A and B are shown apart, each in its own frame.
Chain A
Amino acid sequence: MSERRSRRWMLRTLAVGGAFAGGLAHVWAWSRSLVPNVLYEPPKQRRLGAPTRFPEGTTFLQEEKIFVVRKGDVLRALSAVCTHLGCTVGAQEAGYHCPCHGSFFDAEGTNTGGPAPRPLPWHPLSLRGGALIVDLGTEVGPEITLESPLPPEPPKPPRGGRKGDK
């Protein structure tokens, strides 16, 4: 290969390579733009209002998709999202039943029947400024509880009344 020819070859390779690299960069930029940098979703930490609004037993909050379970002064929050394919489970007498594919969970969220592969997770509760906060982004075991300093009162309209939870 002569000197001139190899020079030509190099220039051509550079040009073709540059074109490929530039084109690839554009395709990458277009694809990357579709990966969201911010999410239009409610925050994972949600205010649930005063602990006193939750009576003894199980209260379903449909917006947060959780059951708030009170036993005396002890409050816990159980996820209502089925571990099978994500439908919302409903409270039954002895536990929770998923309407989609018939999974059963007992009162502690343990999967006892149907296709659900794991127990329902629990979410940690905390108190801030007199309001109950649930952290939907964290999963804990059933033993994590919150001692409510206030005993339940007879039901009354909650503060402000968040959209959807009555």
Chain B
Amino acid sequence: MLVVVSVAAFWRDAAPAWQDAQEQVRAIVAERLGPERAADVPAGLRQIWIEDLDRVDRCITCHATIDWGPELADAPHPARSHPAIPWLDAKHPISEFGCTLCHGGQGTATTMAAAHGDVAFWEEPLLGSQRAKGYGLEARELMEMACNRCHVHEAEVEGMPLLNDAKAFVKKKNCVRCHTIFGQGTTKAPDLSRLGEKHPTAYTFPKGWKNPRTALHWHIAHFREPFVLVPDTLMPTFLLDGKQAEGLSLLVLSWRKQDLPARYVPQPTR
């Protein structure tokens, strides 16, 4: 029995899940760019450690060719490279920001389910296209929530159209007439400054709730018809069109305390 266990344990250790993913990447690279390039695919466990943010992301263990540029831009996952975005390389180099800061998910994990956050006890899953589809959004729109955790005090940020609109809406409707947001406003309605910190388990969903139990779904429903979720609410029902409810929900969920080292604080673009 002891021998059997030992063999089983060694077997499992010898073939971790991420090795299969690296094999996949190598196969895709070999098919598209030739076998000699496949040898260049980095092997072994790799991580991006960002000391200043106290974060570690091991995504590049499987997404090993994330920085290979246009030649793998349309390759299937996990071999696909990161799209070239003008402000990415210059202002958000992967070596200094990692992956999960923008994309969500569990950076320390080395299995797909755990890393993408589709596991119990992980409340912030990957902000991917699959999840975005559930809200009728694109992945990059869902990710604007992550962008705004740092870019919270800017009215207009390039690449964040959904949240730029939401911010304009908050200004136009003068939400601070009742709410307090970042120290401004009144106390007629709850302070929203750190709404994004409210733990997902703290939301109460009404009986017969059809959507997945997520904080974002709760807020979208609440922005559309506040009285349905909070019967004695004072909040008016806005006639929101298109993606306005989604944008506003992402905006309020991005409001949380964020301690950034000085060099990570965004420079105002105005």
Contacts and interface: CB of A to CB of B under 8 A. Distances in A.
Interface of A: 18-19, 21-23, 25-26, 29, 32, 37-43, 45, 47, 129-130, 160-163
A47 B93 CA distance: 10
Given A25-B6, A38-B47, A129-B90, A161 B262 contact: yes
Contacts of B13: 29, 32
Specify the main secondary structure of chain B where it touches its partner. helix
Nearest to A37: B45
Contact of A26 (B6, B7, B45, B263): B6
A32 B9 CA distance: 13
Query: For chain B, which range describes its interface: under 10, 10 to 19, 20 to 34, or 35 or more residues?
Result: 20 to 34
Contacts of B93: 47
A22 B3 contact: yes
B36 interface: no
A18 B263 contact: no
B232 interface: no
A135 to B, nearest CB: 13
Given A162-B263, A163-B52, A21 B6 contact: yes
A39 B46 CA distance: 9
23 contacts: A18-B2, A19-B2, A21-B2, A22-B2, A25-B2, A25-B3, A25-B6, A25-B10, A26-B6, A29-B6, A29-B9, A29-B13, A32-B13, A38-B45, A38-B58, A42-B51, A43-B95, A45-B95, A47-B93, A47-B95, A129-B89, A160-B263, A163-B263
Contacts of B46: 38
Nearest to A32: B13
A3 to B, nearest CB: 27
Nearest to A129: B89
